[in-house]
Structure 1
């Protein structure tokens, strides 16, 4: 049975690279006899209607952009009971990296046409007083969330240096926070620079923050990077790219299905997910933010 596709394109992804990325892939699919509809993202509310209509037609919904675009579609496609494909065209493409997805147009088209459709886990974040938000890769707080905000202001830099630059800028001004981290009912407190709750091993354009993470194991990897001097954190930054940072004494790795987070610091502790700002962590005396795994929540074309 042949597949039909609805492409949803974020025109801003990859510094404007997404529109160019979609053309050769769509052409190859049409030449193979597939039906392809291409829509440039009109905003979150309209995207939900487009996803529902595409899934009702039996189309594979294809995210054309980066991790933020993929993440915004993942929950919608999951809720509609559809299948998600990806044309990696963002700055980071970390979830695509986790799945081993190709970037060459002919290989992307071939995978969309004939790739397997396993069920992958998603991550659900609930902040007090807000609706649940599903993300694909990870939820992070502290210095990592500040680095993500800096990336969004660094678009004039070459793509390959945006994330390292943002990480160093964030570390240069960071202040540690006191975190309460509860994993499957067991609470521990840490003075930390950041806490990452990961479904995927990768974030930050190739940083292997949670090297043991798997998107099909029904579990979350919680990486706590303890407070240290700014210089020490900067020196350890290269280790995150190969995952060797988890052997450092100031790094703690926990695993579980439900994580509760609270934090106190001089300023509110930001929280983000897959490149998007999501709010701030509640203080220690308040109701926690809750991060839970949603096992097998999304059917996704991969190798």
Structure 2
């Protein structure tokens, strides 16, 4: 294990927390005897290129300092390589870190944990989802939730989370079922009308919503949650239960476990780890033990 560690930093994460979080994390790593190099890109493609350069030089670990968006970018660099990923979670949602029992908004503790894990030996390996060329760690969303994200991304005002709250209200007003064609593993095509279909490598997305509550990140399977056609009143009743994961018991919800899934639906975008994948159709598959994560706690 090389003693040089790379901090992969999003200075804008968590309304500026990313820039401040890098310092205490770096101090803890240096105190443990590691040299620390910081990578900050001008934009996402430049940051990813710099992260891959660090891996090519033989860095001992890539430690993402930011939120789920930066973790997603880091996964594109480290997945399928022997280089472990560390996470200093200081974003808004931090669903990847929460799913693995990692510290949230405590950069010094996250730095200490990463340093200890590097000294202890190989980090636990977790599965990742892969859709096309993109890796994802949490959930691939499609349907109502992805349309809320589409609308929110198009809105200039207001800023922050309130934009997506307004987008959700607008999508509720326009709610209609989406005709899907779904293929589970090598099975036949199923035609269903659904409100949304979520494909989970992990249980969480959207800042703590347990949409795929039963998903494990080390079982070699993706968990699929299908919310069937429902009216606004039903959706509003079910929605609060998503934070507890108890929505899976509702009659409108069905679940599946698969190694791969193909989703087809017109005018519907897929998002994975909150990042756009493009319009359906999309095929996602589980890749077992695709990345090692420092300090991960697997149930």
Deviation at 1:215, TM superposition (A): 0.6
* Residue aligning to 2:125: 119
The answer as to 2:238 corresponding to 1:232 is: no
* Residue aligning to 2:97: 96
* Residue aligning to 1:35: 35
**SS at the partner of 1:201?**
coil
Q: Contact between 1:245 and 1:251, CA under 8 Å: does it hold in 2?
A: yes
Q: Contact between 1:15 and 1:155, CA under 8 Å: does it hold in 2?
A: no
* CA distance in 1: counterparts of 2:5 and 2:151, whole angstroms: 34
Query: Which residue, out of 274, 290, 293, partners 2:286?
Result: 293
1:192-213: CA deviation from partner (whole Å, max 9, x where unpaired): 1110110010001000011110
* CA distance in 1: counterparts of 2:114 and 2:259, whole angstroms: 31
Q: Contact between 1:3 and 1:60, CA under 8 Å: does it hold in 2?
A: no
Q: Contact between 2:6 and 2:59, CA under 8 Å: does it hold in 1?
A: no
The answer as to 2:167 corresponding to 1:156 is: no
Q: TM-score, normalised on structure 1?
A: 0.87
5+ unaligned residues in a row in structure 1: which ranges?
127-131, 283-288
* Residue aligning to 1:281: 280
Q: Contact between 2:3 and 2:33, CA under 8 Å: does it hold in 1?
A: no
Taking structure 1 as reference, are residues 90 and 271 closer, same or farther at Cα in structure 2, changes over 3 Å only?
Answer: same
Deviation at 1:34, TM superposition (A): 1.8
5+ unaligned residues in a row in structure 2: which ranges?
none
Deviation at 1:67, TM superposition (A): 1.2
* CA distance in 1: counterparts of 2:152 and 2:114, whole angstroms: 30
* Residue aligning to 2:17: 17
Q: Contact between 2:95 and 2:205, CA under 8 Å: does it hold in 1?
A: yes
* Residue aligning to 1:201: 203
Query: Which residue, out of 284, 295, 298, partners 1:302?
Result: 295
The answer as to 2:128 corresponding to 1:135 is: no
Q: Contact between 2:209 and 2:242, CA under 8 Å: does it hold in 1?
A: yes
* CA distance in 2: counterparts of 1:226 and 1:38, whole angstroms: 46
1:84-135: CA deviation from partner (whole Å, max 9, x where unpaired): 1111121111010000101223321111101261111111112xxxxx2111
Taking structure 1 as reference, are residues 212 and 88 closer, same or farther at Cα in structure 2, changes over 3 Å only?
Answer: same
* Residue aligning to 2:59: 58
Q: Across the two proteins, how many residue pairs are aligned to each other?
A: 287
Give RMSD over aligned pairs: 2.2
Q: TM-score, normalised on structure 2?
A: 0.88
* CA distance in 1: counterparts of 2:230 and 2:72, whole angstroms: 31
